[in-house]
Amino acid sequence: MESFPTLALMTLLPVLGAVVVGLVPKRRSELVYPLALVVSFLPLAIVGYVLWEFEVGRPGYQFTQRVLWYEPWGVSWNVGVDGISLLLLALTAILFPISIAASRSIQKNQKMYMVAMLLLETGMLGVFVALDLLLFFVFFEITLVPMYLLIGIWGSGNRVYAAVKFFIYTALGSALMLTGIIWLGVISGTFDFTAILDVPLSSNQQGWLFLAFGVAFAVKVPIFPFHTWLPDAHTEAPTAGSVLLAGVLLKLGTYGFVRFNLTLFPDAAVRFAPWLAALAVVGIIYGAAVAIVQPDVKRLVAYSSVSHLGFIILGIFAMTNQGITGGVIQMVNHGLSTGALFLLIGMIYERRHTREIADYGGLAKVMPVFAGMFLYMAFASAGLPGLNGFIGEFKILLGSYLRFPAAAVLAATGVILAAVYLLWAYERVFTGPIVHKENEKLLDLSGREVLILAPLVVLILFLGVYPKPALDRIEPAVAEVLDRIDAATDYEVPEYGIPENVAGGDE
């Protein structure tokens, strides 16, 4: 399993495909779209193999490969996958073919668009498998340029402003992380993540390094108050850009917190956890409250991401098995449901060329399939039991209550507010009479559009009804993270259970 470069092939195939797409002559431009779509399915096939061969319950990383590049610095091509990164790889590999399939209407510089999409896929896949800090940073930064181009060239309205704002925010955060990576490499004599785990760091060193990495990840998530770039980027990005931004790019930050901040700097993580939990709760309530008053349906879903990512951060820094496990599976759940909502918004925008809620009303009469799909995704996003959003939010609230009871209670209001802004938006867009004649002859979803959404519909239901296969893969990796924190600090991981006096142990 470890001799064949499975993860290297999976990661580099999209960039090789980008070269092939870029070489397509102008006279054969009709080949660009189908070729890019085929290339995007290749990593999905390899991820399917990795999922099948992944040994559930086995500790450590699997499918590992390490090739030394520069021995004096310990820089290497070092990759591997565990239960935390496995599902995020699957999410990435699923969303890219869907996003490219939804981009058939892109005609402006189509070849450049597809090249940017495939480069972005390589960057995102690489982040989730990199076990060398410099390699991780390279992949982390690779995602920046293609996403900047997607927003700035193929976006709408204030696309240049949104793209520049996105670039500046994330680049500044990344500069801090690079400083931390170099400092950590100097201290430890290597950039190998697994080797650095055994290097003792003082409490002061951990604190500064935690901040250097943490600010970069906080901007990428984004955590309140670093969130202001996100609504603009989401609103102006093309449909596929919004899907990948919400579905995967934001998860680079939450994944970074779990993979690096909790494991490399456990003492600092324990000290900073209450502050991050507080910011997470603020983000949950603030994002939901602002979403309620949005007149633009795409901006509404963008602010909902601020709220939902707050739940994930709260679960991570509760530092309980339930909290982190819930946070990891919620990364996947949010990517599926919010990605689907952005797809649906893109489909109606292509028909009506407006995102203003006031320009709609009564669409269920002329677009019943579209209305049903939107309601299904809204219920998933709001955490309806039986759909994927419920299990993640439930475990996050349960796990965070063990560590931060007040924060968990306040965060629970975000679940209620999510139902308010999503169902109120549905009421205004789909119910009542048709008040604008432009809406009277709108076409319902085509067979191709239903096919694009179908994988997300199935996965949302599957993870809602039977999340056990996902949880079985996540929990052993989470247990390793918590064991690392427990061994390196005085922190005792809270466990869920019935107090003895309640169970009858004390008379």
C-alpha 249/C-alpha 220 separation (Å) is 8
pLDDT of residue 83: 92
Measured on CA atoms in the order 261, 253, 273, 81, is the torsion positive or negative?
negative
Q: Report the share of the chain in percent with pLDDT over 90.
A: 72
Determine the average pLDDT of the residues in 114-120: 95
Query: Each residue of 89-113: pLDDT tens digit?
Result: 999 999 999 999 999 888 888 899 9
Q: Is 432 left (phi over 0), alpha (psi -120 to 50) or beta?
A: left
Query: Each residue of 272-315: pLDDT tens digit?
Result: 999 999 999 999 999 999 999 999 999 999 999 999 999 999 99
Residue 137 has pLDDT above 70, yes or no: yes
Residue 497 has pLDDT above 60, yes or no: no
Determine the average pLDDT of the residues in 370-394: 94
Residue 235 has pLDDT above 90, yes or no: no
Mean of the per-residue pLDDT values of the chain: 90
Determine the average pLDDT of the residues in 465-476: 93
Question: Phi and psi dihedrals of 81, rounded to 5?
Answer: -140, 140
End-to-end Cα spacing for the chain: 55
* Contact call for residues 248 and 128 (beta carbons, < 8 A): no
pTM exceeds 0.85 for this model: yes
Residue 499 has pLDDT above 60, yes or no: no
pLDDT of residue 503: 36
Residue 248 has pLDDT above 70, yes or no: yes
Query: Each residue of 57-66: pLDDT tens digit?
Result: 887 899 998 8
Residue 226 has pLDDT above 90, yes or no: no
Query: Each residue of 395-434: pLDDT tens digit?
Result: 999 999 998 999 999 999 999 999 999 999 999 999 988 8
The DSSP result for 423-453, as a single string, is HHHHHHHHSS----GGGTT-----HHHHHHH
Query: Each residue of 251-261: pLDDT tens digit?
Result: 999 999 999 99
C-alpha 491/C-alpha 476 separation (Å) is 19
